[in-house]
Amino acid sequence: MELKHTAVAGTMESSDIMVTIEPQTGGGIQLELTSSVMQQFGRQIESVIRETLRGLGVENAAVSAVDKGALDCTVRARVSAAALRAADQKAYPWEVRQ
């Protein structure tokens, strides 16, 4: 997925996460995460963000995420929405619930 411009998804409300994705030409994924539950879940949130971007084929980006206690499914949703917006892409590989 080719990112074209900076995009944001999510809010600063409780249980949400606000994700900003900025295209980069190299350097992999540079992630800046702040979270109200950093001590307990910081690693888990970071892992979900990186895994989601990998799944979408985003290799280089500056990602800023402000977490307010989001569940993993919310983190995945907001990262995916921000990446699609940054790529001006509407199509998404929807999958069947297992």
Partner 1 sequence: MEKRYSKDRLRRSMMFVPGNNPGMIADSRIYGADSIMFDLEDSVAYTEKDAARMLVYNALKTLDFGKKEVVVRINDLSSGLGALDLEAVVPAGVHVVRLPKTDCAQDVIDCEEEIARIEEKHGIPVGTTGMMAAIESANGVLNAREIAHASDRLIGIALGAEDYVTDLKTTRADGIELLFARSMILNAARSAGIAALDTVYSDVNNEEGFLAEVELIRKLGFDGKSVINPRQIGALHRAFIPSEKDLNKAYAIMDAIAEANARGSGVASLKGKMIDRPVVIRAQRLIALAEADSASEEE
Residue ranges binding partner 1 (CB under 8 A): 9-10, 13-16, 70-74, 76-78, 80-81, 84-85, 90, 92, 94-97
SS3 annotation, 26-37: CCCEEEEEEECC
Nearest CB to partner 1, comparing residues 34 and 92? 92
Least Å distance between CB 7 and partner 1? 11
Nearest CB to partner 1, comparing residues 63 and 78? 78
| Residues near 10 by beta carbon (within 8 Å), at least 6 away in sequence | 16, 17, 18, 19, 70, 74, 78, 81, 82
